[in-house]
Structure 1
């Protein structure tokens, strides 16, 4: 016999358009039975994230007590397809806002530690003032360049230039991947999860069929059909754990990047924090950008700094859209 459905309080929140259903995992009344722990099956997460029959989101964040000494909370993040994710950059800012606004972290503290599956993240924040966004800077840690750790098949074939904090480290650039639309070249970086960055330096090199046959003069990132090639690349055998795919147009100044992203387990999202960091790092490694970069995503802008300590720092907003209660079918559904 199936059990009764759970009535769960949630907040719908987003970071530059990357949206989440955020649930209380501290046991403060967010779940109707008052339990301190909340575990959702993959099918339950899929149901919640469904944009027609559920709340709709790119993923679910259950904010739970910290797992390491000194941590203020743990971001239990699950992709919209029910798969677990090691890290979500935009999600860290959203979880930080939740912790501050629920009173678990003192708004005057200005900083907190958030546990994630890829380790603790130090976050500095500015609480939202009237008419202003909650803004946070997340220490995303060191970029992972070693192909085996990204992970991606193939060996490092390029050395990080002296102008970067990772000077002398090997990384995999211009990995050739054969696709139904021709060969493409990607640079591979991990920010706790794997990323393959495709730099669109010349629209003449991109197959016309990915733009509905438009001539090179009319091709741009906005009208590129990234879903088809994103699905193909995400699951390519080159990526043992799949990969997030970034489509990047560098600027002449080297200080800005235009970006769209296809996230593994989700599809195209309006923003991806780890993807923005990986793209900025890849741009610096390949001479297309500097160490302080503004990324223009479909959901807004993020600032990424690759500092002398070899850590990548991401700054951006976190916003609440609305609050509500959802009835989640019992776990026997999956």
Structure 2
């Protein structure tokens, strides 16, 4: 039997497995089965905590569809709560620093990248105002914050059919590694409303990396000044970024319950 914790960040929920003492063989099929909300435990992302030679812990992240991804901001905030102290975390996106605060955590998410081949896109183009769009959506921006994001700034967020447009854009050939799709509305100088269609997970209550990418794109376009409050369906995140610097994300993290499971049954 293996132990796990159920956690969430603003309703973006995770099954967190500590594989440091007892390694867990994880693959796409097993991760998808664990994430299944009817036949498994159920989560947006599965998080596997392991050892790392250059950090306190490592973090593997699997989406609900079983695909392994580079970064997850809400999950990163849960790691210091899971470990019980401030930690450095080795991820596929790089080394992250996560600090406990009252009710959650503050995470240095590293510096964003804007080159077309760092997103990545299928061919060269300006990533601040992309010469591409879908239906009535305005020209988006693209940012990589450890994983790829495209951001649409719209006048009326409630009028956007996110459930239909999200998967269409996620799987567009312009994005060879697929993409997280952010639909944003600026509602004040330091305030953005955001809905995210997450690559491999669909519509979630919150997306930390999406909030980071959206705030960065809005600051680059001079739509807002930082720090930025990003309001997602699950609640608020505070994103602070200065050009040429790293992104600081601050927000809640919640431990829900602990459990045991036989991973060989998944």
**Normalised-by-shorter TM-score class:** over 0.9
1:306 Cα deviation from its structure 2 partner: 0.2
Give the structure 2 partner of residue 30 of structure 1.
none
- Counterpart CA distance in 1 for 2:129 and 2:243 is 22
For residues 207-265 of structure 1, give each alpha carbon's deviation from its aligned partner in whole angstroms, at most 9, with x where no partner exists.
xxxxxxxxxxxxx42x64311110000010111110000010101x3200000000111
Gaps of 5+ in 2: none
3-state DSSP class of the match of 1:284? Answer: helix
Query: Structure 1 residue aligned with 2:11, among 8, 11, 17?
Result: 17
1:295 Cα deviation from its structure 2 partner: 0.4
Calculate the TM-score normalised by the size of structure 2.
0.94
3-state DSSP class of the match of 2:133? Answer: strand
Is 2:36 the counterpart of 1:62?
A: no
Equivalent residues, number: 266
Is 2:253 the counterpart of 1:259?
A: no
Query: Structure 2 residue aligned with 1:232, among 168, 171, 174?
Result: 168
The answer on whether the counterparts of 2:212 and 2:247 sit within 8 Å (CA) in structure 1 is: yes
1:209-224 equivalences under 5 Å are 220-221=157-158, 224=160
Give the structure 1 partner of residue 114 of structure 2.
145
The answer on whether the counterparts of 2:88 and 2:95 sit within 8 Å (CA) in structure 1 is: yes
Is 2:124 the counterpart of 1:155?
A: yes
3-state DSSP class of the match of 1:175? Answer: coil
- Counterpart CA distance in 1 for 2:123 and 2:65 is 28
1:195 Cα deviation from its structure 2 partner: 0.2
Distance 1:225 1:182, change over 3 A: closer
**Structure 1 residue runs of 4+, over 3 Å off?**
153-157, 181-184, 327-331
1:156 Cα deviation from its structure 2 partner: 4.4
For residues 106-133 of structure 1, give each alpha carbon's deviation from its aligned partner in whole angstroms, at most 9, with x where no partner exists.
x4xxx3211111111112222x5xxxx2
Distance 1:156 1:291, change over 3 A: farther
Please say which structure displays the higher CA radius of gyration.
1
- Counterpart CA distance in 1 for 2:242 and 2:11 is 26
1:154 Cα deviation from its structure 2 partner: 4.2
Distance 1:308 1:125, change over 3 A: farther
Is 2:143 the counterpart of 1:189?
A: yes
Calculate the TM-score normalised by the size of structure 1.
0.75
The answer on whether the counterparts of 2:137 and 2:152 sit within 8 Å (CA) in structure 1 is: no
1:94 Cα deviation from its structure 2 partner: 0.8
3-state DSSP class of the match of 2:253? Answer: strand
Give the structure 2 partner of residue 310 of structure 1.
245
Distance 1:300 1:97, change over 3 A: same
Give the structure 1 partner of residue 228 of structure 2.
293
1:325 Cα deviation from its structure 2 partner: 1.7
- Counterpart CA distance in 2 for 1:60 and 1:183 is 32
Gaps of 5+ in 1: 1-6, 28-35, 101-106, 158-170, 204-219
1:123-134 equivalences under 5 Å are 123-126=98-101, 133=103
3-state DSSP class of the match of 2:26? Answer: coil
Is 2:244 the counterpart of 1:328?
A: no
3-state DSSP class of the match of 1:74? Answer: strand
Is 2:72 the counterpart of 1:84?
A: no
3-state DSSP class of the match of 1:198? Answer: strand
